[in-house]
Chains A and B, each alone.
Chain A
């Protein structure tokens, strides 16, 4: 008798396709929509996720995520969900929502839904198992889709910003005949260092510069590969017949340069930009004099 029953269960399981199980699952989630959504939004607030958003906003987002979630379960396609995740990320990233929050809320939803399934099928363990077989892979895939979408959006923003910084990063300015200034602000990574070298050497060529003041007051620190690169740039400039004066070295950078054992005979350094320009004027044979008595600084 017991054997017969087992046999019947197995046949039933074979006949019942996973599609029909999913249909049943989706019908259940549609039916319980209001209640589960409420429960989920409550848990989000309780777990202190999405703190940057108001209660109403959380509820509105929860509704659309819920509907998208159920739709992804039903259709088995993730494009719409992916697009929604990207769109959601675009909206919430500027408001300071963190990756762990996004992952957290999706996992919460997964758990809320799983619990409701436990409650519904607690009488029939076999059926519960089969429903979970259909639900779990889809739910995990959805969680991964949303999380990956969020991270990708974030990376896209970071790339765009890096691009913007790079474009702004190395101006070459002529202050006098044959005198260039390169003010550098911010961290110098290897790529920026390469760009810096290129701009500086090109600038010497096109402006026929004899002296270049490289002002790194705005650079907090550099690592030794970049420091080496800087020294090499100074030497390459010399091969083009120009002198480079480096100004505004922070104590950290001075230490880095000493640590890599830079030859101080090759590096021309002056404390600040003003001193650098004065030194450059001296090298070029300029002498700057005040034209009015009153313009001269009182000593």
Chain B
């Protein structure tokens, strides 16, 4: 299942809605990295709230996405990792080093807003 990518101001938001195959993950990676410059996004949010399992391939892909997007000049934040998922990831040594993480979409947006304050833009969601 493909992951929809929405543009919200200067940010791209990808909300994962069901378990992903390795192929889906690769597609997500390519789509995000491709679009980020096309739409001049300053930040990318990947929402994984719906995932019950995040395995080593998914972790590596998410880390690659974050690092590639960094190289393309934007910030990435992974949001919505479930507590149980977080602990089993750490048990397996999958710690997403060097990748920003936030509690949920709202927090992720707040994080990117703080990061982007220097540029004079501020984007908020309506509550």
Q: Which residues of A contact B (CB under 8 A)?
A: 197-198, 201-202, 204-205, 208, 210, 232-233, 235-242, 266
B6 adjacent to chain A (CB < 8 Å): no
Q: Which residues of B contact A (CB under 8 A)?
A: 78-79, 81, 83-87, 89-91, 95-96, 101-103, 107-108, 111
**Inter-chain contacts of A201 with B (CB < 8 A):** 83-84, 86-87
Is the beta-carbon distance between A241 and B90 smaller than 8 angstroms?
Answer: no
Is the beta-carbon distance between A236 and B90 smaller than 8 angstroms?
Answer: yes
Is the beta-carbon distance between B91 and A239 smaller than 8 angstroms?
Answer: no
**Inter-chain contacts of A197 with B (CB < 8 A):** 87
Is the beta-carbon distance between B89 and A240 smaller than 8 angstroms?
Answer: no
Interface of chain B: mostly helix, strand, loop or mixed: helix
Nearest A residue to B89 by beta-carbon distance? A239
- Bound form: Cα–Cα A266–B97 in Å: 10
Closest 3 CB pairs of A and B: A201-B83, A241-B102, A236-B86
Choose one: A205, A236, A242; the contact of B87 (CB below 8 Å).
Answer: A236
Interface of chain A: mostly helix, strand, loop or mixed: helix
Is the beta-carbon distance between B103 and A232 smaller than 8 angstroms?
Answer: no
Is the beta-carbon distance between B87 and A238 smaller than 8 angstroms?
Answer: no
- Bound form: Cα–Cα A237–B85 in Å: 11
**Inter-chain contacts of A232 with B (CB < 8 A):** 87, 90-91
Is the beta-carbon distance between A236 and B79 smaller than 8 angstroms?
Answer: no
A71 to chain B, nearest CB (A): 56
Are A233 and B87 CB-contacts (below 8 A) given A238-B101, A242-B103?
A: yes
**Inter-chain contacts of B78 with A (CB < 8 A):** 239
Is the beta-carbon distance between B107 and A202 smaller than 8 angstroms?
Answer: no
Is the beta-carbon distance between A240 and B103 smaller than 8 angstroms?
Answer: yes
Is the beta-carbon distance between A205 and B103 smaller than 8 angstroms?
Answer: yes
Are A240 and B90 CB-contacts (below 8 A) given A201-B83, A202-B83, A205-B83?
A: no
Are A241 and B79 CB-contacts (below 8 A) given A201-B86, A204-B103, A205-B103?
A: yes
Is the beta-carbon distance between A204 and B91 smaller than 8 angstroms?
Answer: no
Is the beta-carbon distance between A240 and B83 smaller than 8 angstroms?
Answer: yes
